Amino acid sequence: MGVMPVNRLLISMSLPMMISMLVQALYNVVDSVFVSYISEDALAAVGLAFPAQNLMISVAVGTGVGINALLSKSLGEKNYETANRTAVNGIFLAFCSWVAFAVLGGFFARTFMELQTPVASIADYGTTYLSIVAVASVGMMFQICFERLLQSTGKTIFTMISQATGAIINIIMDPLLIFGVGPFPKMGIAGAAWATVLGQIVGALLGLYCNLRMNPEISISFRGFRPNGAIIGKIYSVGVPSIIMSSIGSVMTFGMNKILGAFNSTAVAVFSAYFKLESFIFMPVFGLNNGIVPIIAYNYGARKPERISRTVKLGVLYALAIMAVGVALFWLVPRQLLGIFNASDYMLEIGVPALRVISLSFLFAAFGIVTSSVCQALGNGVLSLMVSVLRQLVLILPAAWVLGHVFGLSAVWLAFPFAEIFSFLLSMVFMAYMFRTIIRPMAKPQ
């Protein structure tokens, strides 16, 4: 990570992650596609369960970002003992996260659903789905943790294999368990949840195997293990802002579901379908970020500012290119995209303009996402947190509520580009600050 040409390094590290995240997005969409054939209420229920599911993912990924940044920095400094201790403490944190969400999901899934909808059938569907994915979230927590360990040492090809295997199992099991094909029982929406869980568990086991056999840069051993407060503190100094930043997305989604639910359940189903489709565009950019973070963190530890600058510039260009493709798709074929989810005429009437309006925010979001990864890799996750709070809480929800009450449902979607433009401007300020205070000064003699 310190000597390979930056463009080749970024592509070699990011491309496997981008492919694996595209597969991840595919199985999220496939989940919802099969669920939509149960009923529109079932699709809406999955959308209402998404904020809680996203919170679990946020904790796992945010913790992984902290592990990734500290481990990569330690390797850049040739501090192998700290790198190994970071790995085992990270696995311990994944276990603790699973226990917490298993308890919360087991006892409060129905309460969470009833807070969002008075429709009994939607609440029933959502409770069934959410309780399963929360109580059995052990696979997700460990899969993401093991993937981040592999990413920290540049072994992204094994991350791709782990994610893709879990996703393919999910895609195969979805129709078998939802509709009861062959010897499998017909489980309905519970089958979608169990298919997801099974894929995650297999992905976690494969990730563990790859770390033990294919990742010689770190050594995983729990012999005489005790949680290390200093290392956990460093992991969460970067990870907590990332967790909060991603969790804010859960709050935003919860709030948008409440705002849209005041109109009708079809609007909630449209928003659910949008999030699944959006993941096809955003997941590759997040995969790109997963390649950016360890490269910047390593070269930050090795004090190579020119490689950091090159990584940032290439990251922004690639993110913009991906987002441009997304905008084109959402404008040219929105009816076909929504048709994947068995959309009714009324769902198309609401959804087509919604996709077109929201996609106007994509290009602005590209710069903000890369800025967030730069801040995290350089140990300034609080700055990216500020951008996320501004965009998703301070701007989107109030704007959506006002626009909906004044102009109706069709105006709610304008809140997304409105918020993204402001966050883009703030991201430019923060990126300039990172270069002025951290990156450029590294070129001077110590």
pLDDT: which is higher, 27 or 108:
108
Evaluate if residue 334 carries a pLDDT over 90: yes
In angstroms, rounded to a whole number, what is the distance separating the alpha carbons of residues 12 and 20? Answer: 13
**CB-CB contact of 427 with 387 (8 Å):** yes
The mean pLDDT value of the chain amounts to 87
Evaluate if residue 215 carries a pLDDT over 90: no
Evaluate if residue 443 carries a pLDDT over 80: no
Please return the burial class of 191, using the count of CB atoms within 10 Å of its CB with bins 0-12, 13-18 and 19+.
buried
pLDDT band at 388 (very low <50, low <70, confident <90, very high): confident
Question: Which amino acid makes up residue 231?
Answer: I
Place of tokens 């298993």: 102
In angstroms, rounded to a whole number, what is the distance separating the alpha carbons of residues 372 and 384? Answer: 5
Sequential DSSP letters for 139-176: HHHHHHHHHHHHHHTT-HHHHHHHHHHHHHHHHHHHHH
Cα pseudo-dihedral 9, 13, 16, 20, rounded to 10: -150
Evaluate if residue 361 carries a pLDDT over 70: yes
122-126, 365-369, 407-411, 441-445: least confidently modelled range: 441-445
Q: What is the tens place of the pLDDT at every residue in 398-425? A: 999 999 999 999 999 999 999 999 889 9
pLDDT at position 24, please?
67
Alpha-helical (H) ranges within 180-222 are 189-214
Residues 373-381, mean pLDDT to the nearest whole number: 79
Evaluate if residue 127 carries a pLDDT over 70: yes
Query: What does the domain layout of the chain look like in residue ranges?
Result: 6-441
H or E stretch covering 52: helix 40-76
**CB-CB contact of 367 with 318 (8 Å):** no
Place of tokens 């929406």: 189
81-85, 317-321, 395-399: least confidently modelled range: 81-85
Percent of the chain with pLDDT over 90: 37
Q: Is 188 left (phi over 0), alpha (psi -120 to 50) or beta?
A: left
In angstroms, rounded to a whole number, what is the distance separating the alpha carbons of residues 124 and 129? Answer: 9
**CB-CB contact of 373 with 319 (8 Å):** no
How many degrees, rounded to 5, is the angle at CA 35 between CA 32 and CA 41? 105
Q: What are the tokens at 350?
A: 């609401």
Per-residue b or e along 130-156, where b marks 16 or more CB atoms closer than 10 Å to that residue's CB:
bbbbbbbbbbbbbbbbbbbbbbbbbbb
Residues 239-265, mean pLDDT to the nearest whole number: 84
